[in-house]
Structure 1
Amino acid sequence: MKLKRLRIENFKRFRAPLELGDFADGLNLFVAPNEAGKSTVAEAIRAAFFERYKSKSVSGLRPWSDSSATPSVEIDFELGGKTARFSKAFLGKKRCQLNIDGRHLDGTEAENHLGELLGFSFAGSGGTSPRHMGIPGLLWIKQGTSHELAQAVGFASDQLRNALGDSLGELAATAGDDVIKAVEIERNQLLTPATEAPRGVYAEALKRRSELEEELEVLRAEIEAYRTAVDRLATLRRDHGRDGEAQPWLALREQLAQAQTKLDDATGLADRRAAQELLLKQATTQVVAVRQQLQLMERDEEALALREANLETAQDKLIKAQGLLQAWEPRHSEATLASTKARERLVAARQVAAWQAQEKSVADLMTRVQALQRSQSQAQLKQEELTQLQAEALSLAMPSVELKRLREGTEHLRTAQAKLDAVSTALEFELQPGAKVRVAGAEMNGAERLTVVTRTGIDIEGVGRITVLPGGEDLQSLIGDRDRQRDELAVLLQSLGVANLAAAEARERLHAQRVAEAKAATSVLAAHAPKGLAALEADVAALSIKLTEAKQTQETMVLAVGAETASVPVSQAESDESSARTALDDASAQLNEAKLAVSEANALVSAAQDELAAARATLNDPLRADKKAAASHALTDALAHETTTRADVDALAEQLRTLNVSILQQDVERFERSAKQLEAAHGLRAGEINRLEAELEAKGALGLEEVAADKQRELDQVRRRCAELERRAKALSHLWKLLTEKRSALARRLRAPLQRHLNHYLQILFPGSSIEVSEDLSPGRITRIGTNGAETGEFEELSVGAREQMGVVARLAYADLLREAAKPTLLILDDALVHTDKDRLDQMKRVLYDAASRHQILVFSCHPQAWQDLGVTPRELSHTTKPSAATGGGAASE
């Protein structure tokens, strides 16, 4: 299929006719900026073929703000060597006509015929959707959809399979597929499609088998427990009878009484040993106390020499501390004087800085007051201007509703007058110079044309009078309508105070201008007085008061320092004062440390003197010798008492070791527990015998072994059913996989022509690459040579730009396949490669130029500089009534 001419009118942005002719058989490049109508031209082609001419859902084809327009498209094309003209009009005066090879078709018949020829269909109701567009929907790429391929291929799959030949068509619709489908259905009844897990009756059989196995296991456990309980009951009865006769707990209680007697005897020895150990502890404490008393008396003699040495050391420290104090006292006085002078200089420097800061503050306030006063003056002027503009805008304002009525009334009067002029009588005059003719009392000159709607007299000097009587059935009605519209318009103009619509619109524009000027004045006023004129006046007054107070403060400030002091910066004065203060702090700290050292040395000397006096007094005590002799005798008596008591404790301990009290206590506890346990066990055994008898009686009535036999027979039957279903499921799965693999291998052989065309273009775009064709005839896995070697991935995993390029390449391959099958082809690329970089775009130009030798291709783009080397002359869209010449690359056939 090759387009020859295209004409569209009243179609979206093309209100006036747009005609394009002399389409090249190969490449056709249309360039224009955004919103110039490129996509509209492509949409007009799609609408002409895809949309029913009677459709009510195509109102979007009308130009904006023209609800009465009739969008129309007319296309001249060649199909199968036959010339054709197809025209269609929507919405208003609906029509559809097709002239092809001398045959004329109208309406729905023409639409359906084209659908059969080009491979598309129509929706039952509403607008045509992509699923109905078939081959054209695949090859005519809409803006922004070049990377979306799978859905378009699916909608055109029937035509593509037909193009691949009868074999693939048979493969898609033969009994072989029915067999595969039947096998798959049978398999899917037993296994899940994805994981081949059991399902349906197979899963139910497996579930029942598991349930029976669990139930049988429970029954077997219960039977085993029953048998075990019978054996245990016999054992319990035997043991219970034996213990009832022997009563072994009585013998244990006799042994308990004997063990308790031995324990009581041992406990008496332990109490005596505890008393002797307490006496031994007291004797040991007495020995230690006497020895410490004797040691203290010996240490008093040693302490005298130590106290004399301590006093001498303390006196040396006192002398050193007094010398250090005498050294720091004059230094501290000097630091105090230097700090005082530095502080006085700092006060003077701060006074100077304060006066200078006040002087700067006065200057700053004066500047701010002057600036605010200027703003106040400008704001007052702008306020007056704004008031004037707002008054003018208010006087010029007209209600938008009334203005709309005025426009509608003027339009209605114009329409009424046009209708009246159409049916009124027209008079045309071509008078000779000097001829005197009067029409309705008005003199006519030269060549003029008049329309009359009422009885009108024509007076010709020297000839007489001619009376014209206009006729027509609707004339009076039209005159009445015109007069009514004129009267209503006159009343409306009078109420608005304007002469006509032009004056009203001029007044509206003047009102808008005044509103804009008022808005600008408001902005300027806001810039000068953001908070309002009153607030600005208040700010000026407040700042003026602050300026006056600042000047008064400056006048009251007195510089109490000389020029030399005034020249010292505050920072230097602060640094000097800080250094002097630091030096004074250091001197004060050293002086205090020296005073503290003298005080501590005096205290040490005094304490050493007191300790030496006390030591001498202790040694000079006249009773000291008697006290020392008494302590020696007391130590001898205490040692003797300690030895006697220790011997008694050791003797008692030896007797207790032979008795072993802890073992005797354990014997008492053991015999007591054993007796209680044997007696309790005898009672518990009786209770358990009663419980087992009741349980065995209940279980014996259930017939557990008979129930288990029934379950075993059912389980054997279910297991045979599971094995049968398992064999069937595996056989069906194996058969389905085998049939699918064979069918896939056959499909790959049958898709070889399409594979060949895809590889042809792929080698131009990606040399050394390969691509697989999926079963639905869409591009599948693609393998390319990258920086790390061969890389393989699915088509949908490519970037948007790469999918965009592969989408165009795939459509060209489909077109080649259709051409070989003698099917019509036409490719439309509406900004189809917008995500393609320069290098890839250069390769795509090669691809398109090659394809143009076999197909007609329309390329629409808003980047003319990107297509300068395509090898065709770009064409711009413009309103014209004559075809424009164009050249294209290659001579294409359908």
Structure 2
Amino acid sequence: MKLQRLRIENFKLFRAPLEIDGFTDGLNLFAAPNESGKSTVAEAIRAAFFERHRSSAVEHLRPWGESSATPTVEVDFELDGKPCRLTKAFLGKKRCELVIDGKSMDGAVAEDHLAALLGFRFPGKGASTPEHMGIPGLLWIKQGTSHDIASAVGFASDHLRNALGESLGELASSNGDAVLKAVESERNELLTPAAGTPRGAFADAIRLRTELEADIERLRADIESYQSGVDRLSGLRRDHQRDEAARPWTALREQLAIARQRLDEAKGLNDRKTAQDAALRQVTAQVNSWRTQLQAMEREEATVVLREKNLQAAQEGLAKALGELQAWEPRHAAAAKADAGARDNLRLARQAASRIAQEKTVESLAEQLEALAQSHEKAKGEQDKVTRLQAEAQALAVPEGELKRLQRCADAHRTAQARLDAVATALEFELQPTARVQVAGTELSGSKRQTVIARTDIEIEGVGRITVLPGGADLESLAIERDRARDELAGLLQALRAESVAAVEERMRLQALRKGEAGAAMAVLAALAPKGLSALAADIAMREARLAEARQVLQGMPPADAAMPSSAQAESEEGAARAALETASVALNDAKVAAGNAREQVKAAEDELAAVKATLNDPKRANRKTEAGAALTDALAQQSALQDKVAELAQQLQSANLPVLAQDVERLEQSVKQAEATHSQRANEITRLEAELEARGALGQEEAASEKQRELEHATRRCAELERRAKALDHLLKLLREKRSALARRLRAPLQKHLDHYLQILFPGAQVEVGDDLSPGRITRQGLRGAQSGAFEELSVGAREQMGVVARLAYADLLKEARKPTLLILDDALVNTDEERLRQMKRVLYDAATRHQILIFSCHPEAWRDLGVVARSIP
């Protein structure tokens, strides 16, 4: 199928007739800006074929604002070498006419015949949807849908299967699929579809076998436990009878009594040693006390010479400190006088600096005040300008929407006048200068052309009267329509107080100009007075007050002395004087402190020497020293005797080993308790085991275990039977699927061939699988890390877009081999494709154009310059 000519009228964007002819058999490129009508042309082609001419669901085909228009599409095309023409008119004067090789059909018969030829169908009612569009819906790519191919393939799958041959259709609907589904159904009753784990009766049988195995295991454990209990009861009875006869706890009690007696004897020795230790500590303390007194008396006698030396050193230090104090007193007085003079100079210098700073402040405030006053005057002028311009803009304002309404009325009046002129009677005059002619009471002269729509009298002086009676059935209605449009236009102009549409447009332009000038003036005003005129005036008043205050402060300041040093110099001199005074003060204070400390040291040394001499001259000191020596000798003798006694008791305690004796008592006490408790517990255990074994012996556990064993054997056989059946069905299903897949691959080979042909141009070395639904499946390409494989849906939008176009070209090749009509329409089908990939797609399209007619619509003419065909614009 090849388009040759397309004509549309009153179709959406195109009110006037639009005709496109000269379609080539290969590539046809239409490149134009957005909203120029490319998609409208593509939609007109789809509407001509897919929509019923009597459908009332195609209101969207009318031009905007034209509720009475009749959208019309006329297509000339070639089908199987035969010339065809399809003409459809929607909504208004509905009609459909199809001419094939000179034979004409019309109405629904023509539409159904064309649908059968091209491979699509019509909906029962309403507008056509993608599910009805079949082969053309697959090959005619609508804007923004090139990447979505699965649904389009599904809607055209029957036609594609027919193109592949009857065998593929049989593969999808034969008894073979029924057998496969039956095997799959029976297999899925025993195994889950995905993981192949047991389910249904198979899972129930395995569960029953597991439960029986657990019951048998529990019964066997109970039987073993019963037998173990019988053996334990025999051992406990034997041990109990042995201990009852021997009574081992009696001998242990006798050993415990002996151990306690030994422990008491050892504790007596320990008490005596503790008492001797206390006595020894008292005597040792007395020895140390007398020895300390004698040593202190000896140190007092040696202290007199030391105290005399200390007193002499303190007196020498006092003399040195008094000399330092006398040296620093005059220096400090001179530094204090210099500091006072420097502070006076600094005060006078700062007064002079303050006056100079105040003078500069006065000057700065005066300059600022003058600048603000100038800004205030300019701002007032700009404010007046803004008010005037806004008032002018308001006076020129045209209500929103009125200009568009006026323009529509003017267009309607021109259209009505043009239509009236087309059917009215035209009168052309070529008059001599002396001729006197009146038309409808108006005198004419020279060359003139005039149209008349009603009875008109032409009076020629010296000749007579000629009456013109215009004809035409629509003349009166057209005149009424013209007058109505003229009156409406005049009413709108009168309401706007304007003479013409151009005058209103000029008002709008002047209003915009005044608004712009007002905005510029407001910007200047905002720069001069950011916070407004009132704030600027308040700022001026505040600065005037500050200036007056600054001048008053300046008048109250004393005059500056030119001979005074600078403030920085005065501060430097005052800092040096202050530092010298601080140094002298610190040195004087240090000298005073040193002299005071020296006096205190001399006094302390004198007191210490007097105290030592008084102590040594005490007459009772000699008696105390003699008594202390005798007491020390007695205490040393007593200490030696007690040390011998303590050593003897320690030797006896070490031989007795008191801790070990205490452990013997504890050990034997525990042994007695354990022996008696063990005998009692064994008797209780014997009683409990006798009762438990008597109860368990009556349960018949061995008989129950035998019954469970028989049930387990039956369940095991059932599991084995179901397992064999499940494995057999699973194996059979795999074989059937493998055979079916192999057959499907063989039947899909023609489509695979065409896909591979285009894929090697776009992605050299890549492979694509064809799914059971004939849509592109998994794609394998070579990447940086080797072969990479992924589903079609996992590709980026751009890659899916490219693969969608490639797949449609392959379907077109397949259909052409089956002698089916093919035409490809790409409406902005590669908008997400980068420059490099688009270059490859152009090679693909150029190759496909040798076999098919391809219509490409794009809003990027520069991207298609190297396609090899001239880009056409929409007329």
Fold shared by both chains (TM-score > 0.5)? yes
Cα 1:629–1:687 change in 2 (3 A) is: same
Q: Please, which moves more after superposition, 239-248 or 265-274?
A: 239-248
Q: Residue 81 of structure 2 corresponds to which residue in structure 1?
A: 81
Q: Residue 820 of structure 1 corresponds to which residue in structure 2?
A: 817
Identity level (%): 59
Q: Is it true that 1:771 corresponds to 2:753 in the alignment?
A: no
Q: Is it true that 1:849 corresponds to 2:846 in the alignment?
A: yes
Q: Which amino acid aligns with 1:727?
A: R
Q: Residue 861 of structure 1 corresponds to which residue in structure 2?
A: 858
Q: Residue 273 of structure 1 corresponds to which residue in structure 2?
A: 273
Supply the distance in 2 between the matched residues of 1:482 and 1:17 (Cα, whole angstroms): 23
Structure-to-structure mapping, 1:356-395, within 5 angstroms: 357-381=357-381, 383-384=383-384
Supply the distance in 2 between the matched residues of 1:834 and 1:68 (Cα, whole angstroms): 36
Contact 1:98 1:110 in 2 (8 A): yes
Q: Residue 882 of structure 1 corresponds to which residue in structure 2?
A: none
Give the CA deviation at 1:815: 2.8
Deviations 1:354-377 (A, max 9, x none): 555545544554454444444444
Give the CA deviation at 1:2: 1.7
Contact 1:498 1:504 in 2 (8 A): no
Q: Residue 884 of structure 1 corresponds to which residue in structure 2?
A: none
Which one of 729, 750, 754 corresponds to residue 753 of structure 1?
750
Q: Please, which moves more after superposition, 119-128 or 430-439?
A: 430-439
Q: Which amino acid aligns with 1:842?
A: R
Contact 1:406 1:493 in 2 (8 A): no
Deviations 1:254-311 (A, max 9, x none): 6655655554444343333222221122222223333333444444566566666766
Supply the distance in 1 between the matched residues of 2:199 and 2:591 (Cα, whole angstroms): 102
Give the CA deviation at 1:544: 2.9
Q: Residue 648 of structure 1 corresponds to which residue in structure 2?
A: 645
Supply the distance in 2 between the matched residues of 1:339 and 1:47 (Cα, whole angstroms): 110
RMSD of Structure 2 on Structure 1 (CA): 5.4
Q: Which amino acid aligns with 1:857?
A: I
Q: Residue 102 of structure 1 corresponds to which residue in structure 2?
A: 102
Supply the distance in 2 between the matched residues of 1:586 and 1:822 (Cα, whole angstroms): 120
Contact 1:406 1:501 in 2 (8 A): no
Q: Residue 721 of structure 2 corresponds to which residue in structure 1?
A: 724
Contact 2:398 2:496 in 1 (8 A): no
Q: Residue 17 of structure 1 corresponds to which residue in structure 2?
A: 17
Q: Which amino acid aligns with 1:135?
A: I
Q: Which amino acid aligns with 1:845?
A: K
Q: Tell me the secondary structure at the aligned position of residue 866 of structure 2.
A: coil
Give the CA deviation at 1:103: 3.8
Supply the distance in 2 between the matched residues of 1:601 and 1:744 (Cα, whole angstroms): 120
Q: Is it true that 1:873 corresponds to 2:870 in the alignment?
A: yes
* Normalised TM-score (structure 2): 0.79
Q: Which amino acid aligns with 1:538?
A: A
Q: Which amino acid aligns with 2:843?
A: R
* Normalised TM-score (structure 1): 0.78
Cα 1:528–1:725 change in 2 (3 A) is: farther
Contact 1:828 1:859 in 2 (8 A): yes
Contact 1:348 1:565 in 2 (8 A): no
Contact 2:121 2:134 in 1 (8 A): yes
Structure-to-structure mapping, 1:689-728, within 5 angstroms: 699=696, 703-728=700-725
Supply the distance in 1 between the matched residues of 2:334 and 2:126 (Cα, whole angstroms): 109
Contact 2:398 2:508 in 1 (8 A): no
Contact 1:409 1:489 in 2 (8 A): no
Q: Residue 210 of structure 1 corresponds to which residue in structure 2?
A: 210
Q: Please, which moves more after superposition, 210-219 or 459-468?
A: 459-468
Deviations 1:17-58 (A, max 9, x none): 332210111122222223323333333333433444455554
Supply the distance in 2 between the matched residues of 1:684 and 1:382 (Cα, whole angstroms): 116
Q: Please, which moves more after superposition, 272-281 or 194-203?
A: 194-203
Q: Which amino acid aligns with 1:774?
A: V
Contact 1:263 1:665 in 2 (8 A): yes
Contact 1:15 1:63 in 2 (8 A): yes
Give the CA deviation at 1:801: 4.2
Cα 1:54–1:438 change in 2 (3 A) is: closer
- 5+ residue gaps, structure 1, are 879-894
Q: Tell me the secondary structure at the aligned position of residue 74 of structure 2.
A: strand
Supply the distance in 2 between the matched residues of 1:56 and 1:584 (Cα, whole angstroms): 113
Q: Which amino acid aligns with 2:868?
A: G
Q: Tell me the secondary structure at the aligned position of residue 867 of structure 2.
A: coil
Q: Which amino acid aligns with 1:712?
A: Q
Structure-to-structure mapping, 1:266-665, within 5 angstroms: 266-300=266-300, 354-355=354-355, 357-381=357-381, 383-384=383-384, 509=508, 528-558=528-558, 560=560, 562=562, 565-566=565-566, 624-665=621-662
Q: Please, which moves more after superposition, 867-876 or 658-667?
A: 658-667
Cα 1:311–1:524 change in 2 (3 A) is: same
Q: Which amino acid aligns with 2:191?
A: L
Q: Residue 892 of structure 1 corresponds to which residue in structure 2?
A: none
Give the CA deviation at 1:5: 1.6
Give the CA deviation at 1:871: 1.8
Cα 1:786–1:709 change in 2 (3 A) is: closer
Q: Residue 136 of structure 2 corresponds to which residue in structure 1?
A: 136
Q: Which amino acid aligns with 2:27?
A: L
Q: Tell me the secondary structure at the aligned position of residue 33 of structure 1.
A: coil
Contact 1:31 1:863 in 2 (8 A): yes
Supply the distance in 2 between the matched residues of 1:406 and 1:873 (Cα, whole angstroms): 41
Cα 1:812–1:245 change in 2 (3 A) is: same
Q: Residue 198 of structure 1 corresponds to which residue in structure 2?
A: 198
Contact 2:9 2:15 in 1 (8 A): yes
Q: Tell me the secondary structure at the aligned position of residue 104 of structure 2.
A: strand
Cα 1:226–1:844 change in 2 (3 A) is: same
- 5+ residue gaps, structure 2, are none
Give the CA deviation at 1:485: 12
Supply the distance in 2 between the matched residues of 1:129 and 1:321 (Cα, whole angstroms): 120
Contact 1:89 1:95 in 2 (8 A): yes
Deviations 1:733-754 (A, max 9, x none): 3333344344434444444434
Q: Is it true that 1:46 corresponds to 2:46 in the alignment?
A: yes
Supply the distance in 1 between the matched residues of 2:350 and 2:58 (Cα, whole angstroms): 87
Q: Residue 888 of structure 1 corresponds to which residue in structure 2?
A: none
Give the CA deviation at 1:855: 1.9
